[in-house]
Amino acid sequence: MSRSISFFNLSIKNILSDQYPIIDQARIRLVYYGLLLALLGVLFIIPNVYTLGQVLQTYIGVAVFFALLVLFKYFTYKPDFKLVSHALLIMATLLTLILVYEVFQNVNIIAVQVVILTILFGYYMLGVTWGTFYSLINSVIVLVYFVWADTTNMLSITRPEKLDGYTVIVSVFFNFILIMFIQGHFYNAFLKSIKQLKEFADSEKQLNEKLAKAIYKAEKSSEIQSDFLSTMSHEIRTPLNAVIGMGNLLMMEKPRPDQKENLEILRFSATNLLTLVNDVLDYNKIESGKIEFESIKFNLNELLHNICGGQIIKAEEKGLSFHLQVDEFLKTKNIIGDPTRLSQIIYNLVSNAIKFTQRGNVKVNVNCIEDRHNVATIKFCVIDSGIGIEQEKIQNIFEPFAQESITTTRQFGGTGIGLSIVKRLLELQGGTINVSSEMGVGSDFCFTMEFPVSTDTEVVAEPVKNIRLAEKGESPLGNIRVLIAEDNSVNVMLMKKLFSKWNITPVIAENGERAIELLHYGNFDIILMDLQMPVLDGYQAARAIRKMADPKKASIPIIALTASALFDIREKVFSVGMNDYVSKPFKPHELVEKMHNLLSPVINQ
């Protein structure tokens, strides 16, 4: 940690900082005060050994004093305790070597204390590795002395000097002070470290408790939000089911041209409202992170024509030309993926293109740019001649609840989350969307995806006949027996009117319990089961039906009717044994198609 320290500094206050860990602060204090004590001790010894004529001791004392003084000054300017510690330990090792082999030619109490100081100082200041290194060197010096002393009485050509009492007393005194200081200082530092760790652990415990509470609140909030969205989706989509359903019924009754125009406006407005509700709910599904993608076989050409079929009418109503171009290769191939999410992506892009184009054309180009090992790389482009987007605002349009400008929002409407949904759906599947645009000229939205290609080249045709019959009000299902479990009187009336158009009289059960009773005493070909009902809801009723003793009744096809749009509704429906589900408000041809698929053996008898 770099700090600006004056060269003339001698104070430890300018060296220490709270930024240092407690153990390093202790090491800095030990070096600082240890150097002062060592200087004081040597200063007391030098006059005495000089007076007694101990030449070597005097020279060594002066040399050690000046070395300690230089280190002290360096340390107060550059507080590198590791470098200074190495220097002190090297000095101590050399001092031990000179005292034992040259000055005293003996292992006396002073040499022993210097060795002990070296060992303690090495471990506390530099850790295990260097502490062991310096300890071994000093231990070897002493051990080698004993081996040599055992074989000869003289280790040097010079005569050993005497150690007087005063030098012993002063040396022992200051050495003991240094030993006590090292031990006491580091013991206190360790206690502080332990205390700090305890406080940190307590703090971490409190933070973990707060975090656990925050997570619990967040999960609870998410659960409440999910329940709220489920309730709101049910409450909003239920009346929309009646509005759109009644509009569909009235369209089946061959209205006059003026009535038909009014009904188209009614249906268009209701559909737009449903789209807004679905956008908000879909965004919640995506942001929850629990969205799952299907992997089923479908024909892309057929899917694109279904998606763009309704959009062509919207484009023509605005006086726009609409062009759909699909690669010939894709018309004869089935690919594997999630057609629902792909439809959502393309529908949002095409809807936006039509909405922001006042004149000109909208094009949808789909091309296979690479086909390898039964994997096709397909490029989708939606091109319009609309208002365009400013370059610096292109990224903003993918932000949730944001459009290019307030003027755009007021003029064209919308929630501003359609493109955000597109971007997130592509990202979750490992793709990205690219945009090129010019103001007043138009915009190109392109993305590339990889799909496994099915080896089955046969295109499964949609039951167009049944759909057309359903739209005309003719019977597409034949003479079947239908049980409808529904508690909402408006929905009951709607279902009765719809089925009457197909010459079918359904039996109505006001709750799940009543549906089970009617199935016990009657025979039905299929059950349409609402999920949210009093007494016994759709899930409980489906479980009970699947446990019936009569195998025919236990295996009766059940289609869930739900106004909820939660991400896990599909899993819940299939987990209790239902065969399929239709979201309210449903399209008559969608219901007919799913009933037809489940009842094919009965209808074809």
Q: Which tokens go with 449? A: 């995806």
DSSP state of 337: E
Question: In a 3-state reduction of DSSP, which class is residue 334?
Answer: strand
Q: Which amino acid is at 160?
A: P
DSSP state of 504: -
Question: Under a CB-based contact definition with an 8 Å cutoff, are residues 563 and 584 in contact?
Answer: yes
Q: How confident is the model at residue 163 (pLDDT cuts 50, 70, 90)?
A: low
In the block, which residue shows the tokens 């005060």? 33
Q: What percent of the chain stands above pLDDT 70?
A: 81
**pLDDT (average), residues 279-294:** 69
For 164-216, the DSSP string reads -HHHHHHHHHHHHHHHHHHHHHHHHHHHHHHHHHHHHHHHHHHHHHHHHHHHH
Q: What is the pLDDT of residues 458-474, one digit of tens each?
A: 444 444 444 444 555 55
Q: What is the pLDDT of residues 265-283, one digit of tens each?
A: 777 677 767 766 766 666 6
Most confident of 226-230, 313-317, 359-363: 359-363
Most confident of 280-284, 342-346, 560-564: 342-346
Question: In a 3-state reduction of DSSP, which class is residue 438?
Answer: strand
Q: Which residue has the higher pLDDT, 8 or 600?
A: 8
For the chain, give every domain's residue range: 12-163, 292-452, 468-603
Q: Which amino acid is at 125?
A: M
Average pLDDT along the chain: 80
Residue 423 has pLDDT above 60, yes or no: yes
**Span 468-603 CATH architecture:** 3-Layer(aba) Sandwich (3.40)
Residue 513 has pLDDT above 80, yes or no: yes
Res 557: pLDDT: 93
Give the span between the Cα atoms of 504 and 477, in whole angstroms. Answer: 9
Q: Which residue has the higher pLDDT, 239 or 602?
A: 239
Least confident of 131-135, 170-174, 206-210, 324-328: 170-174
Residue 367: in which H helix or E strand, if any? strand 361-372
Q: What is the pLDDT of residues 59-71, one digit of tens each?
A: 999 999 999 999 9
Give the span between the Cα atoms of 591 and 494, in whole angstroms. Answer: 13
Where does 474-587 have alpha helices with state H?
Answer: 489-501, 512-521, 538-546, 551-554, 569-575
Least confident of 39-48, 149-158, 372-381: 149-158
In CATH terms, the fold of domain 292-452 is Heat Shock Protein 90 (3.30.565)
